[in-house]
Amino acid sequence: MNIHEYQAKALFEQFGVAVPKGATAQNASEFEAALAKLNGADGYMVKSQIHAGGRGKGTFTNGFKGGVKFSANKEKALENAKAMLGNTLVTAQTGAEGRKVQTIYFTEAANLGKRADGRDDEYYLAILLDRATSRPVIVASTEGGMEIEHVAHATPERIFKVHVDPAVGLQAFQARQIAFALGFSGDLFKQCVTLVTKLYHFYWEKDCAMVEVNPLLVTKEGKLLALDAKVSFDDNATYRHPDVVALRDLNEEDSKEIEASKFGLSYIALDGSIACLVNGAGLAMSTMDIIQHFGGKPANFLDVGGGASKDQVTAAFKIILGDPNVKGILVNIFGGIMDCDVIAQGIVAAARETGLTLPLVVRLEGNNVAAGKATLAASGLKLVSGDSMADAAQKIVALVAKQ
Amino acid sequence: MSIFVNEKTRVVVQGITGDFGGRHAKLSLDYGTQVVAGVTPGKGGQVFEHGGKKVPIFNTVADAKRETGATVSAIFVPPPFAADAILECVDADLDLAVAITEGIPVKDMIRAKRAMEGRRTRLIGPNCPGIVTPGTGDKSHGGCRIGIAPGYIHKRGSVGVVSRSGTLTYEAVWQLTSKGHGQSTCVGIGGDPVNGTSHLDVIKLFNEDPETEAIILIGEIGGSAEVEAARWIKANCKKPVAGFIAGATAPAGRRMGHAGAVIGGADDTADAKIRIFRECGIEVAQTPSDMADALLRVWKKR
């Protein structure tokens, strides 16, 4: 689960991690009041709040450039905020449709410190799971303000990692190792040790999947601040954090994916024309792959889980049919434990209930498959039976191509 | 031979009185598996009955082990309590804990895995279909089925199968069985980012197992476990290996059903893993329908 930057910063503050002072507004009438809470001596930052990266370099569909803007004074901040709020921001991560900005986050602009070579004094800090060791890893770099993948590729020696032993948690010497690796001394060294320690505490206590601060920066006044904040949570652990669940913004999620989750379906929208309905995540992914292998484009990932009951299949069909790009459906069920005939009856009932007219190819395999195929054949529905995944994929691709 | 379990393995089911655990305990009993005990705290002394068989229920795993000689546990405990159930197996010094449960918090698994370091108990899963060593009876009856896989699709034989995904494993097993090729052991290692047993752990055991002659390795996007296994296979594996990677069409950054199936960077895409499989001499299945045929292409050559 993802949250907005302003929500992440509020949690940072709660855990004692230093951030620039900020205030939010959900409509234009709140702009003045939000700005009044801030000290604009060094100007303001006006930041569009959407769950996607690349905001600064993004463009609004109305032509306005930049989803994050420095504004020297209050008038400029108001002007920028008006241009962003309610408009759709397209960034490298949003896809062409972009995301509507529904919250503006104003912060006090920080007075950037400079390094000897004249560059801004920016760093990178992240905490996440290292899958290879099954331990949390803290990743730090002197190269802040750019994509860490780029730094890892170009200058891997400037990335420093510390693995945390979950039996004892982050140790003081490890926080010091990071502060030394980033080249801090004196008061900034102390600030860095404190910030890393508190950030780790937050990551661990709130069951975060990832915490990323990019950039972490040093101001002219010698203060270490988390200038940006990207936080995501482990979906399996949100049940023990009602305060985190309360931060969920349904506007940022695909409505079809929300609907699917209500029926225990795992659905992800894609941009192709062949929908698929499959039991099991691995099989669902490889069904998408095989559609593409035979020249089609998958419209979605959809895992109905182990059961594939009539209600689930009906709900799945309704969600699939809500996507106007869908031109055909491939159902691929390996009925291991479940009786294929029961699944077939569910598919037939769901097709009838939803008034399905699109080409439908069904591939059933497993327990009592002959009876299942007979049920499909006797249904009177215009559906095609596939013998293997390959056969079924080729059939649906051909049917959709004919249209 | 087989790996991890055989027809004599004595199994305890944690969560046997729940719907999910109970249903699959019955299916395992029907398959002929030695389900000798159940564990549900507070229900010790009760009996789980199915098909004329009576399975005693205990309050603790330690009791179940002491009274019945169970050495392997199948865990069907709900996510908030599953890491605790795993560590109870470790405390009881079982050989193997197979965690079927999906949705265990990552932090719980990080801690449990750390606590298992240096202990004798091996963990398979979580979020996995379990493990099957097929029997020699009709439709592989008489084998050891731990977890949720359909037993009848198997056939006793000499192919080892290891996979992160349940239904994709069944797909591979069914293709093999339909073509007349049986399996030594089929292991679902699970779809979570933190798991107990890796592809590589299983491949090493298949390599040493005299009954296993050939191997199918099924992976997916996310993480580097398949790559690690492939590199080891290139250097050490004596047996033919076919592989498949799911997720060529998955968009970056999205979790595809499995918690661990998410592309994090350029190295854990399907294309990157397939390229490394090829470099390491693994015969790559073109599509999921091609898994058994891919193995036969390299197995026959030898």
The per-residue DSSP string of B245-271 comes to: EE-TTPPTT---SSTT----SGGGSHH
C-alpha torsion sign, points B24, B29, B34, B35: positive
Flag residues of chain A having pLDDT under 70. Answer: 306-308
Do B110 and B35 have their domain in common?
yes
B70 located within any domain: yes
The residue assigned the tokens 């197995």 is B299
- Residue A233, phi then psi, degrees to nearest 5: -115, 150
CA distance A112 to A284: 49
Give kind and range of the element (H or E) at residue A278. strand A274-278
Q: What is the pLDDT of residue B300?
A: 72
Same-domain pairing of A340 and A220: no
Catalytic residue among A122, A212, A267, A365: A212
Range of the domain at A221: 122-244
My answer on whether B91 and B177 are in the same domain is: no
Domain co-membership, A266 together with A396? yes
Contacts with A389 from chain B: Cβ below 8 Å = 171, 287-289
pLDDT at A306: 67
Do A232 and A263 have their domain in common?
Answer: no
Give Cβ neighbours of residue A359 (< 8 Å, ≥ 6 apart): A327, A328, A329, A382, A384, A396, A399, A400, A403
Is A179 found in the same domain as A130?
Answer: yes
Structurally, chain A folds into a number of domains equal to: 3
Q: Does residue A271 sit in the same domain as residue A359?
A: yes
Token pair belonging to A275: 């929908």
What's A203's domain CATH number? 3.30.470.20
Q: Tokens 């109305």 appear where?
A: A62
CA distance B265 to chain A (A): 8
- Report if residue A60 sits inside a domain: yes
Q: Is residue A146 part of a domain?
A: yes
Distance in Å, alpha carbon of B245 to nearest chain A alpha carbon: 8
Claim to verify: residue B188 and residue B114 sit in the same structural domain: no
Average pLDDT of chain A, as a whole number: 93
Within a domain: A1: no
Pairwise CA distance, residues A8 & A22, whole Å: 12
> Which CATH number fits the domain that encloses residue A93?
3.30.1490.20
Same domain, A331 and A357: yes
pLDDT in tens, B78-90: 999 999 999 999 9
Q: Which of residues 218-237 of A touch B (CB under 8 A)?
A: 234-237
3-class SS of residue A378: helix
Q: What tokens does B298 get? A: 């390299």
Domain with B162, as residue range(s), is: 155-301
The residue count of chain B comes to: 302
Please name the residue that has the structure tokens 């080409």: A359
CATH of the domain at A379: 3.40.50.261
Q: How far is CA A65 from CA A47, A88, A115, A189, in A?
A: 12, 11, 29, 37
| The predicted structure's pLDDT at residue B247 | 93
> pLDDT tens digits, residue range B166-205?
899 999 999 999 999 999 999 999 999 999 999 999 999 9
Domain identity same for B105 and B208: no
Q: Is residue A236 part of a domain?
A: yes
The angle formed by the CA atoms of residues B19, B64 and B100, to the nearest 5 degrees, is 40
Asked whether residue B66 falls in the same domain as residue B171, the answer is: no
A224-226 and A230-233 strand pairing: unpaired
| Residue B293 shares a structural domain with residue B179 | yes
Q: Determine contact, residues B119/B75, Cβ cutoff 8 Å.
A: no
Q: Could you tell me if A159 and A99 lie in one domain?
A: no
Are B233 and B114 members of one domain?
A: no
Per residue in B46-80, pLDDT (tens digit) is 999 999 999 999 999 999 999 999 999 999 999 99
Contact between residue B194 and residue B234 where contact means Cβ atoms under 8 Å apart: no
| CATH code where residue B55 lies | 3.40.50.720
* ipTM score for this prediction: 0.92
Please say whether the dihedral angle defined by the alpha carbons of residues A32, A38, A40 and A45, taken in this order, is positive or negative: negative
**Which of the four pLDDT bands, split at 50, 70 and 90, describes residue B301?**
low
pLDDT at A307: 65
Cross-strand bridge partners of residue B162: B187, B217
Q: Tell me the residues of chain A between 66 and 105 that have a Cβ less than 8 Å away from chain B.
A: 93
Q: Is residue B149 part of a domain?
A: no
- The region of weakest confidence among A160-164, A272-276, B148-152, B266-270 is B266-270
Residues A234 and A144 grouped into a single domain = yes
CATH classification at residue B196: 3.40.50.261
| pLDDT of the residue at A255 | 86
- Is A8 among the domain residues? no
Same domain, B98 and B166: no
Provide the residue type at A59 as one letter: T
Which positions of B are annotated as active-site residues? 258
